[in-house]
Amino acid sequence: MKKSLVLGFFDGVHIAHQAVIQSALDISKNCTLITFKESPAKYFDKPYEYILSRHDSIEKIKSLGVTEIIELDFSRIANMSAEEYLEFIIQKFAPVSISTGFNHTFGRQKGGNPEFLTRNQEKYGYKYICTPEQTFEGEVVSSTAIKGHLKSGGIEKANSMLGSNFILEGEVVHGAQIGRTIGFPTANIEYPSEIIRIPYGVYKVRLGDKTGLLNWGMKPTVNNTLTPVAEVHILDFEGDLYGKNLRFEVLKHIRPEKKFSGLNELKQQINKDIEACLK
Alpha-carbon gap, residue 160 to 153, rounded angstroms: 14
Query: Does 172 share its domain with 249?
Result: yes
Asked whether 105 and 135 are in contact (CB, 8 A), the reply is no
* Bridge partners for 207 per DSSP: 210
Of 5-14, 18-27, 32-41, 220-229, the one with minimum mean pLDDT is 220-229
Q: Is residue 221 included in any domain, yes or no?
A: yes
* In a shared domain, residues 93 and 15: yes
| Final residue belonging to a domain, choices 125, 140, 155 | 140
Looking at the fold, whether 136 and 236 belong to one and the same domain comes out as: no
Give the relative orientation of helices 155-162 and 143-151 as an angle to the nearest 10 degrees.
160
Q: How many CB atoms lie within 10 A of CB 248?
A: 25
pLDDT digits (tens, 9 = 90+) for 26-53: 999 999 999 999 998 988 888 899 999 9
Q: What is the pLDDT of residues 167-212, one digit of tens each?
A: 999 999 876 555 555 558 889 999 999 999 999 999 999 999 999 9
**Same-domain pairing of 106 and 210:** no
What total number of domains does the chain contain? 2
What pairs with residue 128 in β-bridges? Answer: 98
Quote the domain boundaries for residue 239.
165-278
pLDDT single digits (tens) 83-117: 999 999 999 999 999 999 999 999 999 999 999 99
Backbone angles phi, psi at 124, to 5 degrees: -105, 0
CATH code for the domain of 259: 2.40.30.30
CB 127, CB 97: distance < 8 Å: yes
Cα(155)–Cα(161) distance, integer angstroms: 10
User: Does 215 map to a domain?
Assistant: yes
CA 273, chain centre distance (Å):
26
Please determine, for residue 61, whether its predicted confidence score (pLDDT) is greater than 70: yes
Please indicate, yes or no, whether residues 136 and 171 belong to a single structural domain of this protein: no
Whole-number mean pLDDT of the chain? 93
Give the model's pLDDT for residue 134: 97
Task: Give the per-residue pLDDT at 83.
Answer: 97
Using the predicted structure, report yes or no on whether residue 2 has a pLDDT greater than 80: yes
**Torsion angle (degrees, nearest 10) of CA 232, 224, 226, 190:** -20
3-state helix, strand, coil in the chain (%, to 5): 35, 30, 40
